Structure 1
């Protein structure tokens, strides 16, 4: 799906964290061009702002998943949650394309100084929440930590229906969740791409099959839509599932494994295509509430550069094989 020159220029007129992906995925820029733009993420704009907020002990906001002292603060009673603590900031930096070498020494500092709010567990060991463990697995691998033990956790904790659920470890659910399963398979793929360790690939494929059997949109039991969240496209998506985020993952799987798109993605592709505005952009949905270090994308209702990147590259990938 060709984009207009106006949309292309609008996408390129952006923070380096977005621009390098536009150059790589949409404009056909050479590796030398997009890699040079990617190198700027650590020194300009969004990436530089996050790096400047790091605490001397290696953390951000004094905490692992929540800011230090969060449970006793007025913020704990506010809607949403803050997105400024260590796990979220590292995920943002990783997604932005920051080179891990910029964070030299951070992995060691976190091993020494950061503990999970859940039972004071060591940071790189993970805890019991599958989404938290997924983010930790990928980020640890990015920073050069041996995360193979945590990768095995996903194999051992997959549910009988094929996916994962953040509530399973507390006994509150025995059924998989769209949100948890997508977070798990996305970060397992990233871990495999980075390390070459494919020991959890079968588990990842099982989670992907869980989503594919439901065509990314529907309840398996009734065939009804699983919820409004599937078509609520927002960036940053943090942990929340949408058809667009899921399709972007299956695009990455196809490119990594050299596989053709699964035909069961067709309904989700139609949903994404139908959400595209006449000018070739996608509109920002309602953002997840909570404090963040910096504003990343457009206000609710405005055209979103990030969603336009994702939507365009998903449709380009799909249409190229159909």
Structure 2
């Protein structure tokens, strides 16, 4: 089976992104398929699990090791690409606005006002922008993120009293939030936000998205473990997908410094032109959104192929059948 045909047999959340990012289908065709995410498949199942008070799993963020919370459900729905304007989506978001607050330990604020850690605020900002909940809360988070950018260009969830070096994980969480904000507000974006994003991206580019500056070796072996959804965890495919989207928004060509990361991505391509699902990050979930570890992954294959289409289209020559 052709890899694209195989992808089109997947969940509506995969199909509409294949149509948009790999097949360049007309906008109305893409929108029609995207509308199914809120009513069929994984997106509909996640929406249905929200309780009347606005929560998933009874927690705004939840303890580390449990992904059944508002934070991670909204992040998953955003990555699935659920239509923010769909009736069921708007009902869910209105419930979050009205009923969900972070714990007192995390500041006790309404969910879309964020909390204190950069990595969390990056994720909340991304959700705020995607679901159209931009206001004083978003302004507050952006102010904290700009003030908290470290001298090396990145971010760290640890307070500056404990660390002055950036974290790949935290930095990418913030970059995704800033980019989602820019995509939502367009030309109204303050130049300081764009500058902060570019500085953060430079932090990763200087390291080819995975290397230590001191030795050139990989910073953490888990950066080669491509998982979906990624939660707060950094990996090379997630990073490449961000740089692809940033390049499209900025109207720029791929930076040559992503080349080694693309090489690393290609090392993980299977003979049939697919990519395997990674070992999922620890934590209880409502439902698995990807294939079992080691099995052909629609999500990793989709994301890898759209990255290659952007950064190295000649590498898309593939064997004739998917595994």
Relative to the length of structure 2, the TM-score reads 0.89
Structure 2 spans left out of the alignment, 5+ residues: 316-323
Contact 1:11–1:305 (CA under 8 A) maintained in structure 2: yes
Instruction: Give 1:53 shift.
Output: 0.9
Q: Which residue of 1 aligns with 2:320?
A: none
Structure 1 spans left out of the alignment, 5+ residues: 71-79
2:290 aligns with one of 281, 297, 310 = 297
Aligned: 1:268 with 2:256: no
- Mapping of residues 202-221 of structure 1, within 5 Å: 202-221=195-214
Measure, in 1, the Cα distance between the counterparts of 2:308 and 2:111.
38
Aligned: 1:128 with 2:116: yes
Equivalences, count: 305
Aligned: 1:164 with 2:155: yes
Question: Which shifted more, 265-274 or 228-237?
Answer: 228-237
Instruction: Give 1:191 shift.
Output: 1.3
Measure, in 2, the Cα distance between the counterparts of 1:301 and 1:126.
35
Measure, in 1, the Cα distance between the counterparts of 2:139 and 2:269.
40
- Poorly superposed stretches of 4+, deviation over 4 Å: 105-108
Q: Which residue of 1 aligns with 2:275?
A: 282
- Mapping of residues 1-322 of structure 1, within 5 Å: 6-66=2-62, 81-101=65-85, 102=87, 103-104=89-90, 106-117=92-103, 118-145=106-133, 146=135, 147-168=138-159, 171-196=161-186, 197-199=188-190, 200-320=193-313
Measure, in 1, the Cα distance between the counterparts of 2:35 and 2:110.
31
Q: 1:154-191 CA distances to partner (integer Å, 9 max, x unpaired)? A: 1111011100011135x332110011111111121111
Q: 1:247-288 CA distances to partner (integer Å, 9 max, x unpaired)? A: 111111111111011111111111111111111001111111
Instruction: Give 1:244 shift.
Output: 1.1
Question: Which shifted more, 229-238 or 244-253?
Answer: 229-238
Q: SS at 1:38's partner residue?
A: helix
Instruction: Give 1:129 shift.
Output: 1.3
Instruction: Give 1:107 shift.
Output: 4.6
Q: SS at 1:168's partner residue?
A: coil
